[in-house]
Structure 1
Amino acid sequence: MDKVENIVKHADVSEKNIEHYLCDQVKRLGGVCLKYSNAGAVGYPDRVALMPGGRCLWFELKSLGRTTSNVQKIRIKQLEKIGHTVYVCDSKESINGVLEDLGYVI
Structure 2
Amino acid sequence: METEKDIETYFKKQITKAGGLCLKFTSPGVRGVPDRIAIFKGKTFFVELKRPGQKPRKDQEKMAKTFEKHGVKIYVIDTKTEAELFALKMKVGDL
TM-score (norm 2): 0.88
Deviation for aligned residue 1:30: 1.2
1:43-82 correspondence to structure 2 within 5 Å: 43-51=32-40, 53-82=41-70
The percent identity for this pair of structures is 34
* Shift in Å, 1:39: 1.3
Q: TM-score, normalised by structure 1?
A: 0.79
Structure 1 unaligned segments of length 5 or more: list them.
1-9
Alignment RMSD: 1.4
Between Structure 1 and Structure 2, which shows a larger proportion of helix residues? 1
Instruction: Provide the aligned length of Structure 1 versus Structure 2.
Output: 92
After superposition, the C-alpha distances for 1:13-59 in whole angstroms (9 at most, x for unaligned) are 211011011111111111111001111101000000011x2110111
- 1:68 aligned counterpart, secondary structure: coil
Distance across 2 between alignment mates of 1:76 and 1:83: 10
Distance, in Å, in 1 between the alignment partners of 2:84 and 2:75 is: 11
One of 66, 90, 97 as aligned partner of 2:78: 90
**8 Å Cα contact 1:59/1:88 also seen in 2:** yes
